[in-house]
Structure 1
Amino acid sequence: MRRFNLPTVASALLGILLMQVSVSKQARAELLPADKLASCQLHVIGIYSPESSADDRVFVDVQPTGKPVVLVLSGYYGAQWNLNIAPEADVRQIIIAGYFEHSVRGVPDRVPTEMITYYPNADKTRKDFFWAYSWHTKNGRDLKSRLKELTGLEVTTFQGEYAAKRFVVDGINGDVAQFLTAEPPPSAPARNTNSLEKKLRETGSAAKLKLQELASQFGQGHPTVKQLEENIELINNQLKRLGAAPLGPAAKQPSTAKPSTAKTPPETDPNKVIEALVRQSFQLQMELQLARVEKAEADLQRVKLQLQQRLDSAEEIIAARVQELIHSDVAKPETKEQVPASVLVDEGWKAWRTHDTRKALTSFLSAVDLEPENQSARNGLGWTYVHLGEYEKAITEFKKIDPDTPVHGAALNGIGQSLLALGKLDEAIQVLLDTTEQTIAKVGEVRAAKMGLAAWHGLVRTYLQQQNYEQAKQWSRRYLKHNPNDKGMKDMLEQAESASDVED
């Protein structure tokens, strides 16, 4: 039987315990002055959220880079950053920045870590938090500016992903030189809905003119004509998917040419024409398939974001559902009638403004039970459902509001915002556009902008989601003409201009 040396075993156990303590120990919070970081390189990682909502860990391997390192980990949604720092890597400072609460593991005792996040201590006064996962965006520019203020350094490498699980910091990955080139990256399939529609219409108009010519030359039933008709039908189906009107009739070409009995020239040889049209059809199908893939990817990111939002609000949603079921019970508390609906509405809006969603839902449901025609209560209930991510319920409540009441504009805005959250962009555009134009017609454009019309903001935001950057720029500029200090609208205009410049 093997004998164990008790002192050795005890020493090993003590070492394991000490190692566990060092792993879970809080990192030393301190931001070194810029002069102590002057010799360092600044390596930045940015995400919107961890790759999985069920596992918030993000793993970062830090390799030797040849110079001391300031490591920045940033993200909107909170992550548990798990660091694996190579012994040869000289990490001098770690900065963690973001909106939601983050945590970090694997930080050596000697390395100070500064946490700059809005949560968990969200007191509405902290405004120094920042995050970015894209370089050529306002968030990216803010991140660079804030890091310059904090460290005195320019960014050496930047690795940004919408959602990610693992990064390697080696001084090579994410070299910012790739972002500083004057030329945009190779163009992808048309992202702008307007650009794609314009291209489809140009191709379709040319195809219709060609169809007239070939039908008169070869006959309506000829394979060439049939192939061209298939191409035109394909274009119309894609226009319908984009929510655009189908192709109109082709302009009639004046018939000045005399009938010819000469042999068909090579460029109008039926076989070559058919081959050219089949190639055109295949190219169209591939472009449209790529557009569908891109839309599916955008939809997936939107759904992932909604899922994350619902997970973040899980307890509120569950509690709100419990309250809703309680209020649907026929056995109502006898004292309920003693509280006037107007008081319940005031309590509901107060709770809504302080993000006490559970209290807001209880108050608005009670008020609606007492006075089903109370428009303010109905409006509050709709907006509470928006905060809970119950967008279909929100739309149902907003549609119950009388069009002749003062809160109808807010209800239309709520419908538009809910449709936007559901990804029904065309429907959202129509509602928000109608609401904005009606308000402008009623109170004037100057007053509508200066009152900070929510539907106007929602309209621009939806155009951005739709990647209709021209309309986003047009409407944001109209607004800023009368309300130039609105930061949210200025941010959206900058986003539209940046995206438009990249496409051009």
Structure 2
Amino acid sequence: MKRMHFKTLAFALLGILAMQLSVTPRATAELLPADQLASCQLHVIGIYAPEDHNTDDRVFVDVQPTGKPIVLALTGYYGAQWNVKISADADVRQVIVAGYFEHSVRGLPESVPTEMLTYFPDADKTRKDFFWAYSWHTKNGRDLRLRLKELTGLDISTFQGQYSAKRFVVDGKNGDVAAFLAADPPKSKPTANATGLEKQLRDHGLAAKLKLLQLSNQFSQNHPAVKQLERSIELIDTELKRLGAAPLEPATEQPAAEQLATSTPPTETDSHKVIEALVRQSFELQMQLQTARVEKAEADLQRIKLQLQQRVDSAEDIIAARVKELIRRDVAKSKTGEQPEEEVPASVLTDEGWKAWRSRDTRNALKSFLSALKSEPENESARNGLGWTYVHLGEYGKAITEFKKIDKDSPVQSAALNGIGQSLLALGKLDEAEKVLLDATEEMIAKSGEAQAAKMGLAAWYGLVRTYLQQKNYEQAKQWSQRYLKHKPDDKLMKDMLEQAESETEVNQ
């Protein structure tokens, strides 16, 4: 009887243990093979942080039936507690949770495998498999799409991304990616990446060339209306050349022969109206160009003021460096009959280059970096320094060329991206600058955390806000400057840019 009682008790304990194990949700599990997910749809939710992440990190996800099995991906930079509620008719086959900080998930049945891909809590500097994104058209968004394709073999069906949020509904309709794909500019158009000003110039110019073709068949070549139109087109081509853009293409649309044959000569009143309309159009165009020049000049002045202040702050270092160089030359001249000095190592030349660069001694910085690269072409610190020296010299095309030579996995790649973005900004190529600076800023935030990136005075972040201001995208300028000032509230330059964005918003309301 005693042995039977003991055996019964043992089985009871094992049963209790088995029940406990069966209801304990798994934190991680192996991903299902891609062939087992082939019939599924991939639905993605992305945030930067929960809506009240300082006091409540919960995010609620209601999964409704979509007509197909579901792979659910939940991503975020700041950690979230994902509370998932799955409808009885919804078929969730796999859940992937990815991000930078530690995340957790609740509400999933034991039958649903969950894969965690976050940098924390097991932070390891060599770990690179984590990812997150809350915007589709960003580097993080592109990385997210690539990683999920590698993990599941699936393209994304829906993507719901918000900077901060509390609740989402997955139903196969919210966040349909067709909207994002439709928003992509056609790759075949040569002006897809043109600045707003360039596009405006081309629109005016092509319309003017078409009008010139028509008027040339009605008026003589010396008619004031034709001459005024030719001057307008010449003005547009000159401005396009100044922007580094291709000139206007010839207008190919010709008036129909029948129309020319039957057209009646214009009256004097009609001619005067055409001339007045063209003069007004030319005047308005000139005012728009002048306004654009003033805005660029103001942005350049702000950049020059910042460089001047940095130069003033480094005055003693600059003077000491120049004195040292003059003394070195004087000593070298006084030496005669001595053996030539040994070749200076590239690492030493690179250090000297950076010291000169920080002192705004661009001439010696340029000399040192070029010498370092001559003896060691793969020295990426010297390559980065050469690029930034060209930035200080205003030779932005050369700077971009040097930055692009730096390997994408190099430790100085973030600095190189910032350099490309700042150079594009200085050249007035705002759309290209925005893309590069946004990627550089988000990459540094992902690597170091938003607070650390702000406290270290991330230059790409400043450039990104300046780009939004020049694009007149004041809402984005406000959002990014406010995010920065949340961590570094006493930064005067960022406060000035936020004030500018807020004042412009009020004026335009």
TM-score range normalised by the length of the shorter chain: 0.3 to 0.5
Given the two structures, how large is their TM-score scaled by the length of structure 1? 0.43
